[in-house]
């Protein structure tokens, strides 16, 4: 079991007094990180499992540091495997670029979507 610094225990107790439940603090790489822990029952294994969701980093002076949301995204790239498919289509569809330019102002968006949405 980790022994936390007194200021971390004080912060956790304050949050619990405010009504926050399921908070878990982990000490990794000389930093404290706050997670929300919940448990669920895995029917296949017939066991209770713990699920932790990352909240933010905890700092002595500033408390819970709200990280910038611009680095978190719900959209993940498909894979680098799609590069080959897109490159093949790029070579095959080069003759259509002048037609797209003539008919659409936003031809680059259409072309990019056509390459990645096979």
- 93-103 burial, b if ≥16 CB within 10 A, otherwise e? eeeeeeebeee
pLDDT, tens digit, 9 for 90 and up, residues 76-108: 555 555 677 778 888 888 888 899 999 988 888
| pTM (2 d.p.) | 0.53
For residue 33 the two structure tokens come to 């990180």
Instruction: Band the pLDDT of 64: cuts 50, 70, 90.
Output: confident
Share of the chain above pLDDT 90, in %: 14
Instruction: Band the pLDDT of 49: cuts 50, 70, 90.
Output: very high
Length in residues, the chain: 118
Contact 34, 25 (CB under 8 A): yes
Rounded distance, CA 91 to CA 83, Å? 12
The DSSP output letter for 80 is T
| pLDDT for the residue 69 | 54
């Amino acid at each position: 079991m980790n022994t936390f610094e007194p200021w971390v225990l004080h912060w956790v107790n304050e949050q619990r007094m405010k009504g926050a439940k399921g908070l878990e603090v982990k000490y990794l790489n000389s930093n404290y990180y706050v997670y929300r822990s919940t448990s669920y029952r895995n029917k296949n294994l017939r066991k209770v499992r713990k699920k932790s969701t990352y909240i933010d980093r905890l700092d002595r002076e500033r408390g819970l540091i709200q990280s910038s949301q611009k680095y978190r995204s719900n959209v993940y790239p498909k894979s680098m495997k799609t590069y080959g498919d897109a490159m093949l289509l790029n070579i095959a569809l080069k003759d259509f670029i002048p037609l797209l330019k003539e008919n659409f102002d936003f031809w680059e968006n259409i072309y990019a979507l056509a390459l990645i949405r096979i």
